[in-house]
């Protein structure tokens, strides 16, 4: 076994020695952590990535000759971390916002508007909910009775589905909460944590009405944000550009990024840490003063098995859901209506939501129009936890199913999808962590044990948020842990 030049500890003694930090994982979490670490002149940074490329769930693709995002395609702008990173890596002039067109909800065989206001799927105004037609009269009466139900404190943690069902009925779970949770986590309401997945409502709830808590949360959000600030941001040319720009900034700062270098073992040494990397037949030792693990839960559990076994066991208990993105190019005379839709649980054969990409993002409409007049792009999200049988269909069948669902939704409004031109399928196997009941307690236990090991930190989507801003915040928290 050998250590890469400049990474072994023996040749670096003396007061001027730079502290070596190895970041394992080069998704947006690992790249953001590496960039922050390079701001410390006393730190030498190495990033190890097991796959052939960096970026994780932010990935570039193309359909019909048009470059597109086939992973994440938007950044939550009302959290600052992702937008701040984009500016830091030279993308300030490329930041853009969606066109001012609304998204819909497919429910009861019609494309409907979302109730206003609504917090994480829970309506804050039952009269407005009635106007949307999302609920049938008997279902609406069940929800309308909620403010008069007895107060009941939430005992610790429960599933989102159980709590919302008890207060507002099954229809609200199926037609409002499930679509949002499916879009964010690819998860199921009856398996996801109330405290971890609906934190705004959990904070606003006082043991009484859930609708009143949603109203308070909505009022708090209005009071603390700029009404002119859009909810989402994007990058002209695609969010995947954030990966390329961050990688370039990391490397310009003197850090090294090694791809196809899988970290397989982590052990303590007398003065730091040692990673065993690469293929089993020709392993490589990488020594470090500190290690930041920005890897999915299962990989992190494997690396922590011998040094933090209880944390490893908790990490191994975090489940992941698989899903796929079907990106379609069609030819039609006008843009698709609106920015897209979410679908009520079980209301379509395959699609849980869709983005009418070239309507939502003006830069993408221009790019598609430059390839061919009348070319329109859409992407459909297929699959969530428990949909393994659906995801076993070959790509060609997923394209057929997604196309049929989109045509059905548009047909209900008297529109045609258009003539299919091209399609691509991107599969995200085990792509999204599931924040099950008790997740926050699990994360607290993990962090407590890892904190006892000097020079070790963990970060990523498995802990306090799956969106890009949350992952960047996790990276910066981990860097602070290591560097003070």
Query: For each of the chain's 484 residues, which pLDDT tens digit applies?
Result: 444 333 333 344 445 578 999 999 999 999 999 999 999 999 999 999 999 999 999 999 999 999 999 999 999 998 999 999 999 999 999 999 999 999 999 999 999 999 999 999 999 999 999 999 999 999 999 999 999 999 877 778 999 999 999 999 999 999 999 999 999 999 999 999 999 999 999 989 877 899 999 999 999 888 887 777 788 999 999 999 999 999 999 999 999 999 999 999 999 999 999 999 999 889 999 999 999 999 999 999 999 999 999 999 999 999 999 999 999 999 999 999 999 999 999 999 999 999 999 999 999 999 999 999 999 999 999 999 999 999 999 999 999 999 999 999 999 999 999 999 999 999 999 999 999 999 999 999 999 999 999 999 999 999 999 999 999 999 999 999 999 7
The pLDDT value recorded for residue 460 is 98
Q: What is the pLDDT of residue 475?
A: 98
Half-sphere exposure of 268 (CA within 13 A, CB side): 12
- Same-domain pairing of 155 and 209: yes
Please state the φ and ψ torsions of residue 272, each to the nearest 5 degrees: 165, -130
Whether 432 contacts 321, CB under 8 Å = yes
In this structure, what CATH number is given to the domain that contains residue 288?
3.50.50.60
For residues 415 and 329, state if they share a domain: yes
Is residue 329 a part of any domain in this protein?
Answer: yes
**99 lies in some domain:** no
Whether 309 and 442 map to the same domain: the answer is yes
Token pair 């679509």 is at which residue? 179
Instruction: Look at residue 426 and tell me if it is in a domain.
Output: yes
DSSP code, position 93: G
| C-alpha span between 77 and 73 (Å, rounded) | 13
Percent of residues in the chain assigned helix, strand, coil, to nearest 5: 40, 25, 35
Phi/psi of residue 469, nearest 5 degrees:
-60, -40
Has residue 460 been placed in a domain? yes
The per-residue DSSP string of 11-52 comes to GG-STTPPEEEEEE--BHHHHHHHHHHTTSTTEEEEEE-SSS
Name the token pair of 46.
Answer: 């190495």
Residue 122: CATH number of its domain: 1.10.3110.10
Secondary structure letter of residue 12 according to DSSP: G
Burial of 331 (0-12, 13-18, 19+ CB in 10 A): middle
Q: How many domains does the chain have?
A: 3
Q: What is the per-residue pLDDT for 155?
A: 72
Instruction: Please report the pLDDT score of residue 86 as a whole number.
Output: 98
Is 308 in the same domain as 450? Answer: yes
Same structural domain for residues 220 and 245? no
Q: Are residues 313 and 389 in the same domain?
A: no
The pair of structure tokens assigned to 358 is: 């070239």
Single out the residue in 196, 224, 252 at which a domain terminates: 224
Residues 72 and 325: their CA atoms lie apart, in Å, by 10
Question: Model pTM?
Answer: 0.94
Mean pLDDT score across all residues of the chain: 94
Residue 72 lies in a domain: no
What is the tens place of the pLDDT at every residue in 93-105?
Answer: 999 999 999 999 9
Q: Is 393 exposed, middle or buried (0-12, 13-18, 19+ CB in 10 A)?
A: middle
In the chain, how long is the greatest CA-to-CA distance? Answer: 77
**Residue 26 lies in domain:** 10-56+241-318+435-483
Are 303 and 449 contained in the same domain? yes
Identify whether residues 132 and 218 lie together within a single domain: yes
Q: Is-contact 9 287, C-beta < 8 A?
A: yes
């Amino acid at each position: 076994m050998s250590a890469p030049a400049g990474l072994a500890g023996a040749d670096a003694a003396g007061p001027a020695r730079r502290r070596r930090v190895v970041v394992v994982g080069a998704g947006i979490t690992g790249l953001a952590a590496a960039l922050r670490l390079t701001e410390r002149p006393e730190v030498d940074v190495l990033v190890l990535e097991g796959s052939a490329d960096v970026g994780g769930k932010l990935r570039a693709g193309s359909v019909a000759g048009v470059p597109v995002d086939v992973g994440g395609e938007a950044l939550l702008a009302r959290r600052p971390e992702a937008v701040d990173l984009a500016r830091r890596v030279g993308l300030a002039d490329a930041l853009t916002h969606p066109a001012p067109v609304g998204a819909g909800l497919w429910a009861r065989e019609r494309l409907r508007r979302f109730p206003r206001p609504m917090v994480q799927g829970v309506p804050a105004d039952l009269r407005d909910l009635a106007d949307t037609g999302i609920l049938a009269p008997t279902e609406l009466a069940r929800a309308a009775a909620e403010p008069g139900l007895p107060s009941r404190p939430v005992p610790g943690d429960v599933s989102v589905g159980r709590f919302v069902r008890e207060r507002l009925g099954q229809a609200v779970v199926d037609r409002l909460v499930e679509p949002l949770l499916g879009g964010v986590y690819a998860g199921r309401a009856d398996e996801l944590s109330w405290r971890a997945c609906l934190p705004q409502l959990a904070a606003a709830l006082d043991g009484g009405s859930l609708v009143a808590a949603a109203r308070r949360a909505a009022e708090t959000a209005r009071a603390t944000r700029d009404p002119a600030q859009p909810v989402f941001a994007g990058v002209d040319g695609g969010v995947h550009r954030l990966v390329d720009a961050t990688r370039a900034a990391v490397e310009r700062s003197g850090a090294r990024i090694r791809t196809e270098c899988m970290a397989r073992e982590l052990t303590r040494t007398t003065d730091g840490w040692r990673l065993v990397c690469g293929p089993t037949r020709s392993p490589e030792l990488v020594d470090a003063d500190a290690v930041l693990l920005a890897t999915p839960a299962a990989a992190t559990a494997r690396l922590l098995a011998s040094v933090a076994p209880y944390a490893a066991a908790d990490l191994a208990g975090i489940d992941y859901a698989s899903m796929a993105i079907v990106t379609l190019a069609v030819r039609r005379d006008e843009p698709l209506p609106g920015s897209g839709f979410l679908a009520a649980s079980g209301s379509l054969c395959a699609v849980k939501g869709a983005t009418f990409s070239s309507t939502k993002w003006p830069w993408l409409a221009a790019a598609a129009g430059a390839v061919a007049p009348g070319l329109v792009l859409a992407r459909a999200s297929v699959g969530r936890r428990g949909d393994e049988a659906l995801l076993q269909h070959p790509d060609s069948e997923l394209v057929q199913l997604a196309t049929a669902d989109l045509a059905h939704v548009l047909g209900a409004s008297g529109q045609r999808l258009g003539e299919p031109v091209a399609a691509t399928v991107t599969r995200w196997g085990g792509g999204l962590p599931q924040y099950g009941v008790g997740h926050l307690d699990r994360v607290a236990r993990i962090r407590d044990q890892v904190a006892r090991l000097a020079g070790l930190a963990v970060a990523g989507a498995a802990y306090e948020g799956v969106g890009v801003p949350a992952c960047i915040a996790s990276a910066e928290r981990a860097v602070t842990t290591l560097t003070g």
